[in-house]
Amino acid sequence: MDYDWDFSTVLANWRALASGAVMTILISLGSIVIGSVAGLAVGLCRSSSRPLLRAAAAVYVEVLLCIPILVLLIWLYYCLPIVLGVAPSGPATAITALSLSLSAFFAEAVRGGLLSVPEGQYDAAAAVGLSRTQAYLHIILPQAFRVSLPAILTLYVSTIKLTSLASVIAVYELVHTGRGIVASTFRPLEVFTVLALFYVVILMPLMLLVRRVESLARWRLA
Amino acid sequence: MAILEATQLAKGFDGKQVLVDVSLEVPSGAVTVVIGPSGAGKTTLLRCLSLLDSPDSGRIVFREAEVWPCLSGGNTQQREFRRRVGLVFQHLNLWPHLTVCENVSLPLRLAGSLSREEAADRGIEWLKRVQIEGLGKRYPSEISGGERQRAAIARAMALEPEVLCLDEITSALDPENVSLIRDVINRVVDQGVAVLLVTHHIGFARAVANEIVFLDRGAVSASGSVHDVLDTTANTRVREFIDRIECRI
């Protein structure tokens, strides 16, 4: 196929792309940090012995798993100001929507990890006089985390890619910035090739790092 | 004198009665062996005595103080009691993400309030006593079954319990490792610890026991000295069980 590739127009807009990349990274980091902390808390509640906590966490997770992120994003951006009278900025809305969604999936990964830890591990902790908190911190969570790690990694990768949805509420992250450049240069192939490469550059080291950490652990599960 | 005493313990799961009316005494500086067929409630008895499971009824007295039904919930007193009654599980339940030495030292640090260094030193000391001091930096998955058994005993003993409950700890061991475990038990008993041991291994029971308790369908059907229970018992149920086990061997 004859196509005259010309990346000079993309390079000419590198400042805008860099700024979009920074926004993508900030939204990703914010969502990952908040979503992970919330997801851990919800996942622990989901495995709690208290029925009320368990039920509340189950409702939270199941409702959020049902809502497409795009719908959540648009609802938060356009409906929240009407319902609550507050109008968060685009990036804040994107971080909120992605965090909420990630937390639900993260909670399920945590629950899966906790379920994989044999009952005997709790018993062994109790038998030597460890408190429930000590048992969770030192015995249960490290093992559960090991099991959940691949799923959590996949969620992080997915969250970073989903930041592109923030473009629908006019957040100048990478994709929205790219679209702006396309509109002015009429070079969509070059722009989106660079965007694809950018995502690969961001995500590949993350994937390699976690795989490395995973393979470094010498211990095997009971 | 009995350091741990259970009176009319009963425990059921999902409508099935596992322990019916169990009374027994565990004296200090001696080995009490619980034998009985599978499903007799031996493991449940150990779990109830160490308060890992809550008995439905009955009474447990430790050092002349009632611990059940007095202590309930996950409070500090219950944790303190568990520290004083060590339990080695049938499946050992070593923590796979910690090294052998960490398995022994972590409880010392968290439940025994020792510093990291003190706990590590004490952990190494206990690994020496069970003759696996060279394996401290390995993970449980990297050592043999016999070494894991000894690591589990070291973890339970490092907290210096007054009662040590051992659940089928020789079930998967070769004769050499059984002999090593026997030596460890003898040393523990010499220190005045009361050992309550569950086993299917009649030869091992003969070698270590001071007292034998035969548990059948959740109730004690015979108890006494090794000679009384294993050799001269008139209880047909006990006789049948011993004959079957010894024939299988």
With CB atoms and an 8 Å threshold, state whether A138 touches B106.
yes
CB-nearest partner of B139 from A120, A132, A218: A218
- CA-nearest residue to B89 within chain A is A124
**Contacts within 8 Å (CB) and 24+ apart, A112-119:** A112/A147, A112/A148, A112/A151, A113/A143, A113/A144, A113/A145, A113/A146, A113/A147, A113/A148, A114/A43, A114/A44, A114/A47, A114/A140, A114/A144, A115/A47, A116/A143, A116/A144, A116/A147, A116/A221, A117/A143, A117/A144, A117/A147, A118/A222, A118/B93
pLDDT for A222? 52
CA distance B97 to B146: 19
Confidence of residue A221 (pLDDT cuts 50, 70, 90): low
**Looking at the domain assignment, is residue B47 inside a domain?**
yes
Q: How far is A54 from chain B (nearest CA, A)?
A: 20
Local confidence band at A216 (pLDDT 50, 70, 90 cut-offs) = low
For residue B136, being part of any structural domain is answered with no
User: Which residues of chain A does B91 touch, with a Cβ-Cβ cutoff of 8 Å?
Assistant: 120
Residue B108 covered by a domain = no
Instruction: Tell me the nearest-neighbour CA distance from A36 into chain B, angstroms.
Output: 22
Q: Which pLDDT band holds residue A89 (cuts at 50, 70, 90)?
A: very high
How close is the nearest chain A Cα to the Cα of B183, in Å? 23
The whole-chain average pLDDT of chain B stands at: 88
Is B61 domain-assigned? yes
Supply the mean pLDDT for chain A: 91
Does residue B236 fall inside a structural domain? Answer: yes
What pLDDT is recorded for position B178? 83
- Among B103, B119, B110, B151, which residue's Cα sits nearest to residue A137? B110
Q: Kindly state whether residue B135 falls inside one of the protein's structural domains.
A: no
Say whether pLDDT at B124 is over 90. Answer: yes
Q: What percentage of chain B has pLDDT greater than the value 70?
A: 97
Closest alpha carbon within chain B to A125: B107
Over pLDDT 70: what percentage of chain A?
96
B96: which chain A residues are within 8 Å (Cβ-Cβ)?
A: 143, 219-222
Give the model confidence (pLDDT) of B160-202 as tens digits: 899 999 998 887 778 887 888 888 888 889 988 999 999 888 8
Mutation site for A-interface testing, chosen from B53, B97, B102 by largest number of A Cβ within 10 Å: B97
Domains delineated in chain A: 8-216 (1.10.3720.10)
Q: Counting one residue from A and one from B, how many pairs have CB atoms under 8 Å apart?
A: 73
Q: Which residue of A has its CA nearest to B74?
A: A131
Averaged pLDDT, A184-190 = 91
- Look up the CATH number of the domain holding residue B201: 3.40.50.300
Query: Highest mean pLDDT range out of A55-69, A202-216, B143-157?
Result: A55-69
Q: What is the pLDDT of residues A1-58, one digit of tens each?
A: 688 888 998 889 999 999 999 999 999 999 999 999 999 999 999 988 899 999 999 9
Is pLDDT above 70 for A220? no
Inspect the interface and report whether the beta carbons of A127 and B139 lie closer than 8 Å: no
Distance from the Cα of B157 to chain A's closest Cα (Å) equals: 10
> Is the CB of B110 inside 8 Å of chain A's CB atoms?
yes
Q: Is B139 on the interface with A (CB under 8 A)?
A: yes
**Average pLDDT over every residue of A181-197:** 92
Span A163-190, average pLDDT: 92
Between B229 and A90, residue with greater pLDDT: A90
Cα(A174)–Cα(A125) distance, integer angstroms = 48
Does residue B218 have a pLDDT over 60? yes
The band of B7, judged by pLDDT with boundaries at 50, 70 and 90, is very high
Residue-wise pLDDT for B11-50, tens only, equals 999 888 999 989 999 999 999 999 988 888 999 999 999 9
Domain count, chain B: 1
The answer to whether residue B73 is domain-embedded is yes
pLDDT of B249 higher than 50: no
Is position B186 within any domain? yes
pLDDT digits (tens, 9 = 90+) for A114-159: 999 999 999 999 999 898 899 999 999 999 998 888 889 889 999 9
pLDDT for res A9:
85
Domain of B185? Answer: 13-97+161-248
Q: Residue B199 and residue B218: Cα distance in Å, rounded?
A: 16
Question: Which residue from B83, B89, B140 is facing A120, i.e. has the nearest CB?
Answer: B89
**Mean pLDDT, rounded, for A168-190:** 92
pLDDT over 90 at B64, yes or no: no
